[in-house]
């Protein structure tokens, strides 16, 4: 069985792999109390194990990330109970 990549692994791959432009990545996350918010990868200062640190000193817990887009297409989506057994990850080269 293939191990799913962590959010950190996916973001680091999009940041460092020469086939991807990290500036074209956007992240949708749960933003309490607003609901959901979206940020562009340009805003990211550091990718930690449990948190994403933004340049404006905001910190986003990794478990609140629900979707990662690349070039406005869904690259990864968090699974929920309805998706059990199915992966929404795109095939990664």
Please report, for the chain, the start and end positions of each structural domain, with discontinuous segments joined by +.
Answer: 7-79
Sheet holding 59-61, edge to edge: 44-47, 51-54, 59-61
Reported confidence tier of residue 80, pLDDT bands at 50, 70, 90: confident
pLDDT for the residue 82: 54
* Beta strands per DSSP E along 43-92: 44-47, 51-54, 59-61, 65-70, 73-77
pLDDT for the residue 78: 92
Q: Which fold has domain 7-79?
A: SH3 type barrels. (2.30.30)
The pTM for the full model equals 0.81
Q: Given the structure tokens 């297409």, which residue do they identify?
A: 73
Query: How many Cβ atoms are within 10 Å of 29's Cβ, its own excluded?
Result: 19
Q: What is the pLDDT of residues 19-78, one digit of tens each?
A: 999 999 999 999 988 899 999 999 999 999 999 999 999 999 999 999 999 999 999 999
């Amino acid at each position: 069985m293939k191990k799913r990549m962590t959010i950190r692994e996916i973001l680091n791959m999009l940041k460092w792999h020469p086939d991807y432009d990290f500036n074209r990545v956007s992240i949708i996350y749960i933003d309490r109390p607003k609901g959901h918010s979206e940020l562009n990868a340009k805003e990211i200062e550091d990718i930690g194990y449990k948190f994403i640190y933004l340049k404006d000193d905001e910190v986003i817990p990794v478990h609140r990330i629900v979707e990662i887009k690349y070039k406005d297409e869904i690259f990864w989506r968090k699974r929920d109970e309805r998706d059990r057994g199915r992966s929404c990850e795109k095939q990664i080269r």
